[in-house]
Structure 1
Amino acid sequence: MPDESPHTNGPDPEPTPAGSGTNRNGIPSEIDAADLAALLDEVTQDDLSTLSPEDGVEMYLQVRKEELTASSLKTQKSRLGIFLDWCDEAEVTDLNDLRGRDLLQFRTWRSDDLSPSSLEANMRTLRSFLERCVNFDAVPPSLPEKVDIPAVDGENASRGEYVPSEQAERILDHLDQYEYATVEHVIWLLMTTAGLRLSAVRSIDVDDFSSTSDGGHLHLNHRPDSDTPLKNKSESERIVHLPEYVDQVLDDYVETNRPDVTDEYGRQPLVASEHGRVARTTIRKYGYKWTRPCVVDGTCPHGVPDEEIESCEARQSSSYAYKCPGSSSPHPIRRGYITHELNMGVPKEVISDRCDVSSEVIDEHYDERSDEERMELRTEIRNSTYKTEDESGYAQ
């Protein structure tokens, strides 16, 4: 019989083993999804068109105008405005240059001033924006999937980490003894005795602080044109009273330790370094630095033996303090302040005005009290109003 094999000019080729890399035509026989994404990025990187973050956001909002309600569009514009602020601070001038590590840095930067649920919403908006930027030829196709969106469910949707008042008190005692009237001491006092946001701490000028007969006054002003916007813009403007002790520390700081500097706009920042107004990252660093348990308490609750604490990377430098599981950014400090005010019976309306936060947001994101604690506080307030428990009934 004649040979029916089509391979008449030589022996049959050996089959390509599974996972060997390529088939007989040199095409990859198996490829990991991550490798494929990297390959696509490499292929498309040269095809990207330069697009500034500002132009990209403007194009995105123009496209979404047909798809979203006016209120939803306004919300997305606000969230992406914060992203533009970060791009400006991180010196990102071309969306082509964005990488996964940049998105992670933005997530960390943004998380300092948001609850978990708000952070989730913000990161989803960023992913949606980057998905459109793929169509704009501004970012590679795999970039949107590199946006790390936190998983938020149940209790985490409305509650978050906070620094308890007992811990804040120990930190302030330590700063009072070893760092009196330094910029770090001042930053911590502003966060723990006035509940200020990071942006508010950074915005204060020397002239915005004044001493009075019963403490001090801070005039908080929204100044976006000179790099110190407040979260809710002009609605965040207010006067905040400071206790007498805080007033004294700020006086001593201005008199002895504050560098005699102005910022690039000719203003005199209260919280200053030798280079001018402190950066947001510096304030965050001081939050992480002093909330490391080992720094104030001398022990590690995370399993590091006492003899090894000094060699712990998070302990060695304040720049790595964020790596400590027990450290906190400024926002949990603010949450701890508001929780303490609630526990002490301060009316929500008062906290709302002082801290620039609505009563609804306090209920949803800041009130860490249990049902029993709320009941006990209501009972104390009613009893103090009626003088005695026996007289606290409606019919009495």
Structure 2
Amino acid sequence: MNTTPDTTDSNLEPISPEDARDLYLESRTDELAARSLELHEKHLDEFVSWCEDNGIENVNEIAGRTVHRFRLDIKTEFAQSTLSIYLSTIRQFVRFCESIDAVSTGTTEKIVLPTRERKTRTEMLEPEEATTILSYLRKYHYASRTHALMALLWHTGIRTGTVQSLDVNDLDTDRDRLRIRHRPETDTPLKNGNSAERYVALSPEVTEVLADYVAENRHEVTDEYGRDPLFTTKRGRPAKNSIRRNIYAATRPCTTGRECPHRKDPATCEAAQRTNTAAKCPSTVSGHPVRRGAITHFLRQDVPEKVVSDRMNVSQDVLDKHYDQRTEDEKAEQRRAYLSNL
């Protein structure tokens, strides 16, 4: 790969990507919240690994085209909004590198971020789509990892990070419930820490699907801490990106026998070919819209907001602001139904 900077700057001081990353993170320690700092570290770890894979040993070599190549290499793994967040972190990192004479001045201005999807805070998996997906998976891919994953996500509305944290012994088949625990010491923290620990009730049908998945299709592997993940790959506990790609793939219309709304031929459509390219389908969704759809579905079924709030581990204020997609008309009619019984 040609990694020569777009403009030559003889005043640059050599530094490795790893060292530059560490300096950047140290410089942001007092500015960023702990969670934000973790995300910056995650994004930069991926960029540093990419640099290593592409023979970039000196940050002086980073140019606008370098970041563009990185973007092309990872764009199939993320929705456009997520990709924009990743590249925003990289741009902040490059700006920092400019300030310490590690990257040519002006490089930051050459990094163009993809447009964030404006629908991300309202996008959700609709109940009709969820029903179609789960019916198809139950009929043709019963108790597969995808079937178990989608059934659990839709039935509980839990986060993908929570899914990743689950172990086999967290599933209580006798009592139809799931134990959710915060275990940061073994790399499976929950977003809201200890306060997110709880039991989540399962329907007998979902319990059965999960139990059959464990018995028939789960890879018999442990993670690096000797724990038995509920959801697995051949190598152990799946990364969050792996779970995200699984959801993208499962929500493609063509994957579950539906007609393509974009008039594409699945035999030639790039998004239909592989799990890694599924995010390119305009109709596919990630884990968060599945969670938003599940929460809205529970609310439409007259489940009290406090119950939904506790079950999904989301405050009622955040639920109202970011998850509840019922229209004002729907809410009014549901209130009328309650009042008519008084």
TM-score, normalized by the shorter chain, greater than 0.5 = yes
CA 1:293–1:151: 2 relative to 1, 3 Å: closer
1:1-396 alignment, distance < 5 Å: 39-40=6-7, 42-43=8-9, 47-50=13-16, 51-61=19-29, 65=30, 73-75=31-33, 77-88=34-45, 92=49, 96=59, 99-102=67-70, 127-128=91-92, 130-145=94-109, 146=111, 148=113, 150=115, 156=118, 159-213=121-175, 216-304=176-264, 308-384=265-341, 386=342
- Higher relative contact order (CA closer than 8 Å, sequence separation 6+): 2
Tell me which moved more, 356-365 or 96-105.
96-105
> What whole-Å deviation, never above 9, does each CA across 1:361-395 have from its counterpart, x for those lacking one?
222211212111111111112224x1xxxxxxxxx
Distance 1:277 1:239 in 2: 21
SS of match in other structure, 1:365:
helix
The alignment's TM-score, normalised by the length of structure 1, stands at: 0.72
Contact 2:132 2:256 in 1 (8 A): yes
Contact 2:76 2:278 in 1 (8 A): no
Contact 2:77 2:276 in 1 (8 A): no
The alignment's TM-score, normalised by the length of structure 2, stands at: 0.82
> What whole-Å deviation, never above 9, does each CA across 1:258-313 have from its counterpart, x for those lacking one?
12111111111110122111122221111111211122243111123xxx332222
CA RMSD of aligned residues (A): 3.2
Name the structure 2 match of 1:10.
Answer: none
Tell me which moved more, 263-272 or 357-366.
357-366
Distance 2:222 2:135 in 1: 30
Distance 2:322 2:11 in 1: 41
Contact 2:15 2:58 in 1 (8 A): no
Report sequence identity in percent: 35
Distance 1:276 1:88 in 2: 20
Contact 1:48 1:140 in 2 (8 A): no
Distance 2:218 2:127 in 1: 28
> What whole-Å deviation, never above 9, does each CA across 1:20-62 have from its counterpart, x for those lacking one?
xxxxxxxxxxxxxxxxx9633x54796342324243111233x
Question: Displacement, 1:110?
Answer: 7.8
Q: Residue type matched to 2:198 in 1?
A: R
Instruction: Kindly name which structure, 1 or 2, has the bigger radius of gyration based on alpha carbons.
Output: 1
Contact 1:219 1:238 in 2 (8 A): yes
Tell me which moved more, 232-241 or 138-147.
138-147
Question: Displacement, 1:84?
Answer: 0.9
Distance 1:106 1:231 in 2: 25
SS of match in other structure, 1:39:
coil
Question: Displacement, 1:150?
Answer: 4.3
SS of match in other structure, 2:267:
helix
Name the structure 2 match of 1:31.
Answer: none
Contact 2:270 2:277 in 1 (8 A): yes
Tell me which moved more, 98-107 or 287-296.
98-107
CA 1:38–1:232: 2 relative to 1, 3 Å: same
Contact 2:247 2:286 in 1 (8 A): yes
Contact 1:79 1:125 in 2 (8 A): no
